[in-house]
Structure 1
Amino acid sequence: MLGNIVSISHRLLAEIVKSGDTVLDATLGKGNDSIFLAELVGPNGHVYAFDIQEEAITISKQRLQERNLAKQTRLIQANHQEIDHYLPAKCQLSAAIFNLGYLPGGNKTITTQFQSTLRAIDQCLERLVAGGRLIIACYIGHPGGLEEYQSVYHQLENLPQECYSVGHFQFINQKNNPPRLLIVERRS
Structure 2
Amino acid sequence: MLQNALNQAKSYMKEIVLPEDHVVDATAGNGHDTLFLARLVGKNGKVTAFDIQAAAIDATRERLVREQAIHQVTLYHGSHADLSTVVTLPIRAAMFNLGYLPGADRSITTTSDSTWTAILGTLNLLLPGGRTVIVLYHGHESGKRERERVLQQVADLPQEQFQVLHTAFLNQQNSPPELVVIEKKKQPVR
TM-score where L is the length of structure 1: 0.97
Asked whether 1:82 is paired with 2:79, we answer no
**Partner of residue 149, structure 2:** 151
SS in 2 for 1:144: helix
**Partner of residue 171, structure 2:** 173
Asked whether 1:186 is paired with 2:187, we answer no
CA distance in structure 1 between the aligned counterparts of 2:168 and 2:44, rounded to whole angstroms: 34
**Partner of residue 126, structure 2:** 128
Asked whether 1:41 is paired with 2:41, we answer yes
**Partner of residue 114, structure 1:** 112
CA distance in structure 2 between the aligned counterparts of 1:5 and 1:32, rounded to whole angstroms: 15
Total equivalences in the alignment: 186
User: CA-to-partner distance for each residue in 1:60-84, whole Å, 9 max, x for gaps?
Assistant: 1010011110000011100000012
**Partner of residue 69, structure 2:** 69
CA distance in structure 2 between the aligned counterparts of 1:57 and 1:19, rounded to whole angstroms: 24
**Which amino acid in the other structure matches residue 63 of structure 2?**
R
Shift of 1:119: 0.6
User: CA-to-partner distance for each residue in 1:28-72, whole Å, 9 max, x for gaps?
Assistant: 000111100000000010000000000001111010011110000
Unaligned runs of 5+ in 1: none
SS in 2 for 1:70: coil
SS in 1 for 2:102: coil
Shift of 1:3: 2.5
**Partner of residue 93, structure 2:** 95
CA distance in structure 2 between the aligned counterparts of 1:84 and 1:162, rounded to whole angstroms: 23
SS in 1 for 2:141: coil
**Which amino acid in the other structure matches residue 186 of structure 1?**
K
CA distance in structure 2 between the aligned counterparts of 1:123 and 1:86, rounded to whole angstroms: 10
CA distance in structure 1 between the aligned counterparts of 2:44 and 2:81, rounded to whole angstroms: 26
**Partner of residue 142, structure 1:** 140
CA distance in structure 2 between the aligned counterparts of 1:2 and 1:184, rounded to whole angstroms: 20
SS in 2 for 1:155: helix
Shift of 1:174: 1.2
Shift of 1:2: 2.2
CA distance in structure 1 between the aligned counterparts of 2:57 and 2:103, rounded to whole angstroms: 14
CA distance in structure 2 between the aligned counterparts of 1:182 and 1:9, rounded to whole angstroms: 8
CA distance in structure 1 between the aligned counterparts of 2:46 and 2:65, rounded to whole angstroms: 15
Moved over 4 A (4+): none
Shift of 1:180: 1.0
TM-score where L is the length of structure 2: 0.96
